[in-house]
Amino acid sequence: MGINSQQVKTKPKIPLWTRDFILITVANLFIFSGFHMLPSTLPVWVKSLGAADSLIGWVTGVTTISAVLTRPFVGLAVDHFGRRGIFIIGLALMLVTTASFAFFPVVAIVLAIRLLQGVSWAMANTASQTVAADVIPQKRFAEGMGYFLQSSAIALTVAPGLSLYLLYEAGIDAMVAVSSSMFALALVLVLFMRFKKYKVEEKAGLHDKETAIAEAIADPAGMASPVAEPEIVQMVAETNPRKNGILSKLFERRAILPAVIMIFIAAIYGSTMTFLAVLAEERQIDGMIWYFVVYAVVNIVVRPVFGVWVDRVGYNKPMIVGLIGMVLTTLVIWATWSLPMLLLAAFVQAIGLAACFATLQTMAIADVPANRRGTAVSTFFIGFYGGIGFGSVGAGIIAQALGYGNMFLVFTILPVFALILFVVSRHKHGRGT
């Protein structure tokens, strides 16, 4: 018997805004806010302690590098030992290490703390993303993940400006206190969450095709059947543990090239987050807080627009706009001696980074089978955070030799490298128009 339209209309919608989804979304807002209050303020503070420019770059770089190196293994630990334990340990470490800045104003100790924060950030961030994936209904996954990630976007745009305001108006102790309180609030919320428990061998939430994959791996002879779907054959080949090594499990090959391109884009972002406030201080430009206000507003407005544009017109046009925006960012900062020029840099960087991010993230994930999307996301973000670390460290070395302004001029070449790799990569993706 068929289903009539009235039955379809009255079918209840699967709830998304459950207790645990609200808790993890709010917790993620606190986690990202607390973490991203540090990269823009610690370099200014460390410089006041007498650190050389090359060491200032490592304040951000060492955290990012340790997080990138740790992230793949943390992902395995979250699956094998459970979300709750890794989550709580990661947040507790972030809370303690952040609070310790107020008690150890020594450059060498600050660097050691930042190294440990890379590990704890990988633990807290990976656990947060995984818990969100656990509690979002499968049939509303894209919608739910969009809402969840918006909490990260808001934190990324507001936290840097807030931290600089606190640093300049109230000092490092006030900034550290607010950042630490963010992790404390997140930890309290996590303690009230209900965590789903999975056995290591379970494949929770798999689609029918993915179940077929597991069955096909268990019975390889069945793949010779004429009814075996080509997509399943392809996905089995990619997931069969007898064929793939540890690197294939940790990284998605189709996301590698977009991730590498993202390194060059994120390097510019890392250099601005680490050295722009120092440059403004050197050139006696007041009102640095407004840079982050403009960046926040523009980013929140254009981020969804570029996502829709990529879906409609493909990769080429949005990526070209993004690369132009990143080139203009470095050139405008190089020429900046006033607040209006600084705000112009914020405007073009928000547009450039949003366009590049939307394009490259789609390239990394869109054509990947469902059973490899998590790995593709991880691979892409390793490129993003790796680029931030590379940019921060490289910028510090160049700034020490050439000065802050000339460092940004040198970084103008990075979007050119990204363009070259993009031209190569578009021949390997279906939406290159």
- What ranges do the domains of the chain cover? 15-195, 252-433
Q: What is the mean pLDDT of the chain?
A: 81
Q: What is the pLDDT of residue 202?
A: 43
Whether residue 186 has pLDDT greater than 80: yes
Is residue 360 predicted with pLDDT exceeding 80? yes
**Between residues 129 and 67, which one has the greater pLDDT?**
67
Across 323-333, b (16+ Cβ under 10 Å) vs e yields bbbbbbbbbbb
pLDDT > 50? residue 278:
yes
Structure-model confidence comparison of residues 195 and 79, the more confident one: 195
The pLDDT of residue 231 is above 70: no
User: From CA 299, how far away is CA 353, in angstroms rounded?
Assistant: 9
pLDDT band of residue 143 (cuts 50, 70, 90) is low
Residue 200: pLDDT above 50? no
- 0.95 surpassed by pTM: no
Considering only 71-85, 103-117, 199-213, which range has the smallest mean pLDDT?
199-213
Distance from chain centroid for Cα 171: 28
Residue 412: which of 323, 299, 298, 288 has the closest Cα? 323
User: Given a cut of 80, is residue 266 above it in pLDDT?
Assistant: yes
Supply the CATH classification number for the domain 15-195. 1.20.1250.20
> 372-408 pLDDT, tens per residue?
665 677 788 889 888 988 898 899 999 989 999 999 9
DSSP 8-state class, residue 223:
G
Q: How far is CA 37 from the centre of its chain?
A: 15
Choose the most confident range, by mean pLDDT, from 1-15, 71-85, 200-214, 334-348: 334-348
How far, in Å, are 148, 245, 302, 375, 377 from residue 364 at the CA level?
Answer: 20, 21, 20, 10, 7
Predicted pLDDT of residue 226: 38
The span from the CA of 306 to the CA of 309, in Å, is 5
Q: For 259, phi and psi rounded to 5 degrees? A: -65, -40
How many other C-beta atoms can be found within 10 angstroms of the C-beta atom of residue 301? 12
DSSP assignment letter at 194: P
| CATH number for domain 252-433, candidates 3.40.109.10, 3.60.130.10, 3.90.1330.10, 1.20.1250.20 | 1.20.1250.20
Measuring CA to CA, which residue among 88, 105, 111 is closest to residue 176? 105
Question: What is the distance between the alpha carbons of residues 259 and 331, in angstroms, rounded to a whole number?
Answer: 24
Residue 408's contacts (CB-CB under 8 Å, 6 or more residues apart) are 271, 279, 330, 331, 333, 334
Distance CA 192, CA 279 (A): 43
Which is more confident, 334 or 225? 334
- Contact at 8 Å (CB) between 427 and 315? no
pLDDT of residue 214: 43
Confidence class of residue 135 from pLDDT cuts 50, 70 and 90?
confident
